[in-house]
């Protein structure tokens, strides 16, 4: 066997080894990407289902439910394509198609939530941020149109403002009922500032006017609560002055007796 043939075989072997290594890396990369994509789809699918079931009832409409169903169905179909043996995913996709088929007749059973604590407002805000993220991704992936996505993002912002209006009303009203004027004043001042900062404040003019009235009530109550202490101070000064006068009269009497 000539040296030329040997060199050719060696080079061919090296090329073969390099090709096998490259193909192995490609396969590993594809497997990793597939696993990562499946994990993302499962997570987003779970988030859509959770949002649909747990968002406060005052924020949920049939249209919003169907939006989440449409997004979740797209995720379920893609997940089924990646994992054909996932029977649970196929069953969920069939269920979603049935729900979407109900249209406006779809029942909405979410329970309204009375938001009256900082913890509750943070939880709802987190839910709305998650909803916003799902809408943005759906628009990017053409599940919904850009126009529809923009409309829903505006709705999510409106939901957040509505939640804060309910929150300020609840805690501010409680402070007023408890005659805690200063705390109520701070809450209503924060509410007025919050609504004035909105880019489009037109839908909230009624709520703004109500908060301004409540703020005036809280200020008046605060003034009323400070007046008695001023009266008490005057009475105390008068009593001390009277006591000094009586003491002076007694000393004077003792001097002449």
Based on the domain organization, do 134 and 48 belong to the same domain? no
pLDDT tens digit sequence for 20-78? 666 666 666 676 777 788 888 999 999 999 999 999 999 999 999 999 999 999 999 99
Q: How many domains does the chain have?
A: 2
What domain range includes position 34?
Answer: 30-112
CA distance 95 to 193: 45
Looking at the predicted structure, is the pLDDT value of residue 254 above 50?
no
**Listed range (30-34, 79-83, 245-249) with the worst mean pLDDT:** 245-249
Based on the domain organization, do 158 and 96 belong to the same domain? no
Based on the domain organization, do 172 and 233 belong to the same domain? yes
Based on the domain organization, do 148 and 207 belong to the same domain? yes
* Percent of the chain's residues with pLDDT above 70: 77
Looking at the predicted structure, is the pLDDT value of residue 253 above 50?
no
Based on the domain organization, do 80 and 100 belong to the same domain? yes
Based on the domain organization, do 96 and 193 belong to the same domain? no
Q: Which has the higher per-residue pLDDT, 2 or 144?
A: 144
pLDDT tens digit sequence for 130-151? 999 999 999 999 999 999 999 9
Phi, then psi, of 132 in degrees rounded to 5: -60, -40
CB 50, CB 43: distance < 8 Å: no
Spatial CB neighbours of 15, under 8 Å, sequence gap ≥ 6 = none
In a domain, 252, yes or no: no
Task: Say which DSSP state 204 is in.
Answer: G
In a domain, 217, yes or no: yes
**pTM for this one?**
0.75
Give the CA diameter of the chain. Answer: 150
Spatial CB neighbours of 87, under 8 Å, sequence gap ≥ 6 = none
In this structure, the number of other CB atoms found within 10 A of the CB of residue 121 comes to 19
In a domain, 61, yes or no: yes
pLDDT of residue 22: 62
Phi, then psi, of 179 in degrees rounded to 5: 60, 30
Based on the domain organization, do 81 and 125 belong to the same domain? no
């Amino acid at each position: 066997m000539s040296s030329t043939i040997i060199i050719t075989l060696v080079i061919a072997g090296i090329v073969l080894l390099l090709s096998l290594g490259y193909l192995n890396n490609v396969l590993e990369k594809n497997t990793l990407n597939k696993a990562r994509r499946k994990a993302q789809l499962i997570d987003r699918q779970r988030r859509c289902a959770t949002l649909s079931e747990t968002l406060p009832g005052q924020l949920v409409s049939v249209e919003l439910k169907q939006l989440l169903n449409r997004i979740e169905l797209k995720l379920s179909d893609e997940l089924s394509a990646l994992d054909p043996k996932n029977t649970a995913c196929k069953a969920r996709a069939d269920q979603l198609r049935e729900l979407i088929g109900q249209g406006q007749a779809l029942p909405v059973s979410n329970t309204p939530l009375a938001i009256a604590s900082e913890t509750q407002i943070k939880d709802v805000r987190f839910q709305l941020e998650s909803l916003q993220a799902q809408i943005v991704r759906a628009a990017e992936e053409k599940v919904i149109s850009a126009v529809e996505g923009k409309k829903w993002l505006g709705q999510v912002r409106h939901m957040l403002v509505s939640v804060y209006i309910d929150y300020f009303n609840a805690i501010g009203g409680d402070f007023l009922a408890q005659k805690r004027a200063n705390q109520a004043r701070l809450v209503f001042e924060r509410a007025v500032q919050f609504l004035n900062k909105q880019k489009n404040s037109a839908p909230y003019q009624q709520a703004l006017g109500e908060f301004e009235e409540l703020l005036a009530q809280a200020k008046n109550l605060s003034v009323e609560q400070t007046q008695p202490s001023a009266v008490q101070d005057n009475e105390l000064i008068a009593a001390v002055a009277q006591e000094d006068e009586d003491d002076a009269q007694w000393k004077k009497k003792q001097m002449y007796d």
